[in-house]
Structure 1
Amino acid sequence: MQTLRFRLALLYTLLALVMVGLVSALITGKLLSDLDTQFQVRLDERADNLAGGFNSGSSGLGKQTTPSGGYTMIVDGSGSVIYASAGVSDYDKAPFPYAGQLEVTIRGVPVRTSTRPLTTYGKGGFVWVGLPEDALVAARQSAWQLLWLALIIAPLLMLLLGWLVGRSALDGLKRAAHLADRIDPSQPAAALPLPRRQDEVFRLLTAINRLLTRIDTQQAREKQLLGQIVHELGAPLTVLKASLAQAAGRTGDADVARAALVADELTFTTQDLMQLARGQLELKLAWHFIPARTLQGRLDRLVPNVIFSGDWQMMVLCDPDRLTQALRNLLANARRAAGTHGKVEINLSETPQQVRFTVRDDGPGLPTELGERIFDPFVSGSGSSGLGLSVSRQIAEAHGGHLTGGNHAGGGAQFVLSLPGPELGEDEDEA
């Protein structure tokens, strides 16, 4: 219920409720005031007519002098009732009971009263007239009940109508959000389709398309610059790596050997950067059917003190250079997390469906808050460049496999790189 259309419908309903309630209350109050005024005018006219008739000497005493539904009493100067009409005839010849009262109750019905002086019955004599207010009270109650009923039903209808109208009016914005949500940052962004009506949604999508164009242009420039930097670094690093390897072989100097490992590290980093600059779609594989021992030998030279477990006697269909790059990244991250004297293990297992390389370390494990973001470029949980895992996943997917990662129940991080098994590969070849 937190949608924009619901909040707008609720807001406009509340505003309309306040306005309609205020206007309706004013109208109802004015209507009831007019009814009350008319009732008072009618009462005063009756009182004036009776007083005028008695004062002129044509009172017709003993006859009914008020229309049906009203009450009349004639009171002399001593305060005694000398005439009472039907309904109040019990007070005939008795002391006047309603002195100073403008509202009385007769037989359970509210009655409004009015008096006029009479000169024909001595000083202080007057005529008393009363009209029942039951019809006026009923009209007043009905008006307020209808007002409250309207204030309850109207907002519900307005909320429902506003929600339906808002749903239709904001449908274009909903489609725009859906289209924008489908944008893949790793792929060239296609322009979002524009609606025919040039409203706010049209302007929003147009702004998004302009933004996508600028992002594509900027990403293309960054990749071009990154490719140029990597290209310029590649040749000197290759020469440096070869020279250090030869020097380490001739002298056996430990410092030279460590420098050669640093050169290897930089070489692999430049390969990761080149892969990032090219993008996954440009990753080309050179397939070979090689012994797993070949991969083991390469990895053993690249990352020191790794425990190799499982079956390394099998054959693996892969791009040796790319797979070595992916596994080396996983092992280098594990070594970095476990430290110099920590445990890093890679296990190789095979089923008819897949070949699994499982890399595990006894380090602190992966930050739980990163989740799948650990495979995004430049996101790192171990202080590295943050490229290795992203590139390793790209290489695994290019082989038709996948790479997953998490924390092992026994502690430390664990990554599993899976490739299609031999049976799957044979089926694909036959097809």
Structure 2
Amino acid sequence: MKLPAWMHSLRFRLALMYTLLALALVTLVGAVMTVQLLRDLDGQFQARLDERADRLAEGFNSPSAGLGQTQAAPSGSYSMLVDGKGRVIYATPGLRDYEKAPFPFPGLREVRLDEVPYKVATRPLKKGGFIWVALSEDVLIQARQSAIRVLTLAVIGAPLLTLLLAWLAGRRALRGLGQAAQLAGRINPSTSVAALPLPRRQDEVYELLNAINLLLLRIETQQSREKQLLGQIVHELGAPLTVLRASLTQATSRGGPAATDPDVRRAALVADELTFTTQDLMQLARGQVEMKLAYHYIPARQLRERLDRLVPDTEFTGDWSVFVLCDPDRLTQALRNLLANGRRAAGKEGRVELCLEETPEAVRFVARDTGGGLPAELGERIFDPFVSGSGSSGLGLSVSRQIARLHGGELTGGNWRAEGGELGGAEFMLNLPGLEIGDDAEGDFGAEPVEPRQTLTGQAPTGQTSTGQISTGQISALIRATGPKQGG
């Protein structure tokens, strides 16, 4: 049975703990007080009964008192006079049927008369025999019932009232902690480590939030060091890789044995792989906030040509005659990472496919391979840096999703299945927002043309991604500036 979420809260657990403590305390104190009260009532009742019996016995035993000197019997009281032979010689009204008869209650301390319980006491007489006195227990029984009702009400009502008050008090006392938890939940260490606001009272909540702020400060310091280290690594690798790629390109362009040497071709592929890895590291070091996009309105076949050179033997399906508004370098990097992962998973004999689909709302790139598919246990963690299911560096998917979001789109992944239901391999869908040119901004078409390499979005605000939204006039200018030159 799954419990509601509020039952797992600290506020409820504290209120429940206080309620259980109140229940135990009220039960213990109430039980002790009730027992003591009932004992006192029994003692008072017995003292009253003994006093009644002593006065009646004194009246009969004292020659100067006489029968006429005895006090009137109180309500709920009976008495009988028994001689030495055990016969009742006198009884108060209500017990006259026992007169001139043997005493009916020998040795009993409690009797029932007319279904009412009575306590009895006897006192010996000087002339023989004894006097018998009975006093009704109605008042005592009522007192006992009242005490038990009060105890029951206290045991039930006090914990419920404690639970309600503790819940309200805990809600007020922990309100700052709840707000801090919401703020902490919105913190993204990759983009922002802003300190949490501290409450005025320096209580346990203050200490917890202060400890979180110190932790965030250490995270920010560590991230800064990591970014500096990554930047230095990329800088140190960039120059040698550039020289290496240029040398390999010259070696293959001169012709001769080097142009067909498989070792040279393999070295060129390794150099390309290292170059893209350094680009991914640089993207990771810069982060999403520092990245700028240079939008171009280009034919999709240009992306296909670049990707075909970078990841050979890729099958391109769909409609590649459309135009795409994007940063070509960044989008190529994102798609290349998807295809490289697919080729790595599918192997040389496997198949890697990239399909382009366009709708008025979106442009979708679907990358598929015939490899073993994504590990189910990784889930969304497959997009985290340095998490990989195929033995790669684990940067490609993280950078690709970052680039997609900077374009205002999204990258999702999963496994596709063939028509027969068997697992087909991994599938990634990179969606970019489509271009919807409406009639509400017709005046914008007179805007100044935009240079082909002008950055339109600038830096994304902290904690947000660039949406890639451009005015109608800017889109028109891009179409005029880039469309005809690209053969579109």
Q: TM-score range by the shorter chain?
A: over 0.9
Give the Å deviation of 1:395: 2.0
Please give the secondary structure, in 1, of the residue aligned with 2:289. helix
Which structure 2 residues correspond to residues 6-25 of structure 1 after superposition, within 5 A?
Answer: 6-25=12-31
Q: 2:88 maps to which residue?
A: 81
The Cα offsets for residues 138-177 of structure 1, whole Å up to 9 and x where unpaired, read as 1111211221122112211121111111111111111111
Instruction: Give the superposition deviation at 1:381.
Output: 2.2
Deviates more, 1:89-98 or 1:300-309: 300-309
Please identify, of 18-27 and 290-299, the stretch whose mean Cα deviation from structure 2 is larger: 290-299
Equivalent residue, structure 2, for 1:268: 276
Q: 1:416 aligns with which of 418, 425, 429?
A: 429
SS of residue matched to 2:364: strand
Instruction: Give how far 1:217 is off.
Output: 0.9
What residue is the counterpart of 1:392 in the other structure? 400
Q: Quick one: structure 1 residues 174 and 421, their matched pair in 2 at CA, closer, same or farther if it must change by over 3 Å?
A: closer
Q: Confirm or deny that 1:184 pairs with 2:188.
A: yes
Q: Do the aligned residues in 1 keep the contact of 2:358 with 2:364 (CA within 8 Å)?
A: yes
CA contact (8 A) 2:59 2:67 kept: no
- 1:428 Cα deviation from its structure 2 partner: 5.7
Equivalent AA in structure 1 for residue 192 of structure 2: P
Retained in 1: the 8 A contact 2:416–2:427?
yes
Name which structure has the greater RCO, CA cutoff 8 Å, separation 6+: 2
Per-residue CA deviations over 1:184-219 (Å, capped at 9, x if unaligned) read 112132222222222222222222212111111110
2:114 maps to 1:101: no
For residues 106 and 63 of structure 1, the distance between their equivalents in structure 2, rounded to whole angstroms, comes to 27
Range with bigger deviation, 394-403 or 20-29:
394-403
Return 273-282 or 250-259, whichever deviates more: 250-259
In structure 2, do the counterparts of structure 1 residues 83 and 315 end up closer, same or farther at CA, with 3 Å as the change threshold?
Answer: closer
> Does structure 2 conserve the Cα–Cα contact (< 8 Å) formed by 1:287 and 1:319?
yes
Q: Is the 8 A contact 1:50 1:59 kept in 2?
A: no
Q: Secondary structure at the match of 2:112?
A: strand
Contact 2:82 2:90 in 1 (8 A): yes
Distance 2:369 2:310 in 1: 17
Task: State the match for 1:111 in structure 2.
Answer: 118
* Stretch of structure 1 that moved more, 299-308 or 52-61: 52-61
Of residues 126, 136, 142, the one that matches 1:138 is 142
Deviation (angstroms), 1:364: 2.3
- The equivalent of 2:449 in structure 1 is none
Are 2:81 and 1:36 aligned?
A: no
Contact between 1:62 and 1:83, CA under 8 Å: does it hold in 2? no
Say which of 334, 343, 350 aligns to 2:358.
350
Q: Distance in 2 between matches of 1:126 and 1:4?
A: 71
Asked if 1 retains the 8 angstrom alpha-carbon contact of 2:191 and 2:289, the reply is: no
Give deviations 1:333-381, integer Å, cap 9, x for gaps.
1111222211110112333443322111122222233333222211222
For residue 204 of structure 2, the aligned residue among 200, 204, 210 is: 200
Tell me if structure 1 keeps the 8 A contact 2:91–2:98: yes
2:174 to 161, 170, 173: 170
Most deviating of 312-321 and 341-350:
312-321
Deviation larger for 345-354 or 381-390? 345-354
Range moving further from structure 2, 127-136 or 199-208: 199-208
2:472 aligned to 415, 427, 431, which one? 427
1:95-147 CA-to-partner distances (Å, cap 9, x unmatched) read 111111000111111111111111213xxx11111111111111111211221
Equivalent residue number for residue 451 of structure 2 = none
Q: How many residues align?
A: 428
Contact 1:248 1:254 in 2 (8 A): no
- 5+ residue gaps, structure 2: 1-6, 419-423, 438-469, 477-488
Contact map agreement 2:22 2:158 (CA 8 A) in 1: no
Asked if structure 2 preserves the Cα contact closer than 8 Å seen for 1:306 and 1:343, the reply is yes
* Distance apart, 1:315 and its partner CA: 3.8
CA distance in 1, matches of 2:98, 2:473: 116
2:219 counterpart (215, 218, 239): 215
Point out where structure 1 has 5 or more consecutive residues left out of the alignment: none
- Residue by residue, what CA displacement relative to the aligned partner does 1:294-334 show, whole Å, maximum 9, x if unpaired? 32232222223211112333444433322221111000111
Residues 419 and 17 of structure 1: is their aligned pair in 2 closer, same or farther, counting only changes over 3 Å? closer
Residues 315/106 of structure 1: CA separation in 2 closer, same or farther (3 Å cut): closer
In the alignment, which of 271, 293, 315 is matched to residue 307 of structure 1? 315
